[in-house]
Amino acid sequence: MSKRSRIIKEGLERVPHRALLYATGIPKSEMNKPFIGIATSFTDIIPGHVGMRDLERFIEKGIHTGGGYPFFFGIPGICDGIAMGHRGMHYSLPSRELIADMVETIAEAHQLDGLVLLTNCDKITPGMLMAAARLNIPSIVVTAGPMLSGHYMGRRLNLTSDTFEAVGKYKKGLIRDNELQALEMCACPGAGSCQGMYTANTMACVTESIGMSLPGCATSPAVLAQKKRIAFESGVKIVELIKKNITPRKIMTDKAFRNAIMVDLALGGSTNTVLHIPAIAHEAKVRLSLDVFDELSRKTPHIANMIPSGQHYMEDLDYAGGIPAVLKRLKDMLYQNPTVSGKNILDIAEQADIMDENVIRPLNKAYHKEGGIAILKGNLAPDGAVVKQTAVNKNMMKFEGVAVVFDSEEDAMKAILSSSIKAGDIVVIRYEGPKGGPGMREMLSPTSAIAGMGLSESVALITDGRFSGGTRGPCIGHVSPEAMEGGPIAILKNGDRIRIDIPKRKIDVLLSDEEIKKRLSQWKQPMPKIRHGYLARYAKLVSSAGRGAVMY
């Protein structure tokens, strides 16, 4: 029996504890087995989570087979797509901290010996990993898997291109009512996380690359039997991890985070990993700065051209060999590190097969010489800003334009849909950072509207908020310090000229140092947008985007 659960099971003084445990129906013969919590984020409002009931059963079967005793407990989830573009998105990033706190609370209150973390979507996966790193008890992650592509009139569909961007296309008269309605019904055909390398699937790939889920877990589609087998094997494996006392911090090392960042860069993953990976590292007691992303991006080629900026879907990546095949491509760059499977990450890479060289290209035939993410700095973002450079047209890698400034996403969206934005403009959306939002909302609605209206190669967008993994084009987020902290983005005015140079990693407003200092001296912090409830407390405690937006 594990030392942890003995605290609630052994000794004369634990008679009432045992009585309560027996009240749950646990047989006496099972009492000496490891107590394993299954943190399930099942909900029937998130497509990525509606299929979890089946996976719960297979995890439970696996734990029993391995010699443990499982207990389910619920963890909330938010669908970023449904929360997008309104008040609900304020809660998405802050929910990450709630999830980590809730897993910690249940595991500590009941002294669980280990955890299986059943997750899938954007903030739930990093929240679960943060909890695992913080608790440092044996844990394994099961990501529920991506959605299959949609189909309509002989073409494949995905959420971003065929719904969010359809709004701008419809507004411009490029599609009609019947097609818009068909896209609504066909773009998302069933259970699973959205089909491309958006945040949910990027984080699943990161989780597997760090070594916290079994090989093949990240890309195996939600509806396939293979996903159930992975769930079963994860249940068996957690018992072994407990017996061997293999804890998350033995796996989530500095080397593991670097491996995961390289895989993320090779896949052209979501910019949200620049928030989540440092936050997980923080809980694992590993120091990880933004500069590491840029350092690795300069030497990691982009070898998989995934939706939204490319043409391949998650199912294509799975059929091509999944994350093990990506690791095989990168094996000469990777660090040796253990995983929950019991295999070293380099062994997984060596044993993998690459099934499709067009989906996972050789390094010498990469789509881009550098990785997906670039960190920009300059007088507009002294502490850094983030751009998915592989999603930017080569003609927009260097861009100079005129600032059109908005203090909220809603105001910017109105201007975009009213055709007030023209070629050569740089849309600036501020007071949307971790403190100012609060909650650092994703800007998928405005970026998709810009793309849908045909402006993604002539208009840039800059924000102290963040972007969905579905964003493409010259969209620069995470500007730090944010406006609410008095960062330079707070003193921009309509008509200011801004210069973006992604190859040189620069972002500057073309003002003299004296003018910037003068404006900053005159700036006054506005009243918070939200002054009550959880978000008000969150705004007081959250750190900058440059530090992972963790709470202190």
Q: Are 443 and 459 in contact (CB under 8 A)?
A: no
**Residues 346 and 336 sit within 8 Å (Cβ to Cβ):** yes
Helix (H) or strand (E) holding 399: strand 398-406
The residues that bridge with 150 in the sheet, in sequence order, are 157
Q: What are the φ and ψ backbone dihedral angles of 146, each rounded to 5 degrees?
A: -80, 160
SS3 sequence of 67-122: CCEEEEEECCCCCHHHHCCCHHHHHHHHHHHHHHHHHHHHHHHCCCCEEEEEECCC
- 385 membership: H or E segment, kind and range: strand 381-388
Helices (H), 477-512: none
What are the beta bridge partners of residue 385? Answer: 376
Q: Which of 118, 121, 100, 102 is nearest to 110 (CA)?
A: 102
Where does residue 534 rank: exposed (0-12), middle (13-18), buried (19+ CB within 10 A)? middle
Q: At what angle do helices 273-283 and 92-109 cross, to 10 degrees?
A: 20
269: nearest Cα among 223, 219, 221, 335: 219
Residues annotated within a binding site: 80, 122-123, 442
DSSP, collapsed to helix, strand or coil, labels residue 501 as: strand
Which of 324, 332, 318, 323 minimizes the C-alpha distance to 349?
Answer: 324
Reported as half-sphere exposure (CB side, CA atoms, 13 A), residue 306 has a value of 38
The residue among 492, 487, 494, 416 whose CA lies nearest residue 456 is: 416
* Rounded Cα distance, 3 and 322, in Å: 37
Q: Which two tokens stand for residue 552?
A: 């202190």
Q: Is there a contact between 227 and 314 (Cβ–Cβ < 8 Å)?
A: no
How far apart are the C-alpha atoms of 64 and 75, rounded to whole Å?
A: 22
| Pick from 135, 338, 140: nearest CA to 238 | 140
Asked if 341 is an active-site residue, the reply is no
Listing from the earlier edge strand, what are the strands of the sheet with 35-40?
Answer: 69-74, 35-40, 114-119, 139-143
Say which DSSP state 449 is in: H
Do 141 and 207 contact (CB within 8 A), yes or no? Answer: yes
**Which residues line the annotated binding site for Mg(2+)?**
80, 122-123, 442
- The pair of three-digit structure tokens given for residue 416, joined into one six-digit string: 């975009």
Catalytic residue among 149, 161, 234, 468: 468
Distance CA 470, CA 476 (A): 14
Catalytic residue list: 468
